[in-house]
Amino acid sequence: MRAFDAFANPAYRVLWLGSNCIALGSWAERLAVGWLVLVQTESVLLSAATFGARSAPGIIAAPIGGAVADRFPRNRVLPIAALIRACVILLMALVALREFSNPWPIFVLIAIEGVVNSFETPATQGLITDIVPRHGRMNAISVHSVGGRAVGAVGALVSGVTAELVGIPTALLAAMGAVVVGGAIVLLVPTVPRAVREVQEPISRIFRDAFAGLRSMVGMPTVSTLLGLAIVVEIFGFAYQAVMPAMARDELHVAESGLGTLRFATGIGAVAGVAALSLLGDFRRKGPLLLAITLVYGLGLLGVALSPSLAMAIVLVTLVGAMAAGFDAMEWTLLQATVPDDMRGRVIGGWIFAIGFGWVGHLAMGAVGEAVGVRWAIGGAGLVVMTTGLAVLALAPKLRRT
Domain-embedded: residue 1: no
pLDDT exceeding 70 applies to what percent of the chain?
84
Instruction: Share the mean pLDDT of the chain.
Output: 83
Which phi and psi angles does 270 have, rounded to 5°?
A: -60, -40
What's the confidence (pLDDT) of residue 106?
A: 92
254 falls within a domain: yes
Confidence band, pLDDT 50/70/90 cuts, at residue 399: confident
Say if residue 197's pLDDT is above 50: no
pLDDT band for 215, please (50, 70, 90 cuts). Answer: low
The single-letter code of the amino acid at 250 is D
Split into its structural domains, the chain has a count of 1
* Range(s) of the domain holding residue 238: 8-187+210-401
User: How much is the average pLDDT of 167-180?
Assistant: 94
CATH number of the domain enclosing 303: 1.20.1250.20
User: Residue 299: its pLDDT value, please?
Assistant: 96
d(CA 202, CA 329): 32
CB 401 within 8 A of CB 287: yes
pLDDT band at 276 (very low <50, low <70, confident <90, very high): confident
Least confident segment among 42-51, 161-170, 219-228, 285-294: 219-228
Mean pLDDT of 322-348: 76
Q: Which of 314, 300, 299, 301 is nearest to 263 (CA)?
A: 314
Q: How far apart are CA 347 and CA 223, in angstroms?
A: 9
Residue with more model confidence, 206 or 67:
67
Dist CA 66 CA 81 (whole Å): 13
Where does the pLDDT of residue 131 fall: very low under 50, low under 70, confident under 90, or very high at 90 and above?
Answer: confident
Per-residue confidence (pLDDT) for residue 127, from 0 to 100: 83
Does the pLDDT of residue 199 top 50, yes or no? Answer: no
Q: What is the mean pLDDT of residues 365-390?
A: 93
Q: What is the average per-residue pLDDT within 36-53?
A: 87
In a domain, 204, yes or no: no
Residue 381 pLDDT more than 60?
yes
Residue 192 located in a structural domain? no
Q: Confirm whether 309 is domain-assigned.
A: yes
**194-202 contacts at long range (C-beta below 8 A, 24 or more positions apart):** 196/130, 197/73, 197/130, 198/70, 198/71, 198/342, 200/71, 200/72, 201/71
Residue 148, number of CB atoms within 10 A of its CB: 25
- Return the H-helix or E-strand segment holding 16: helix 10-41
Q: What's the pTM? A: 0.73
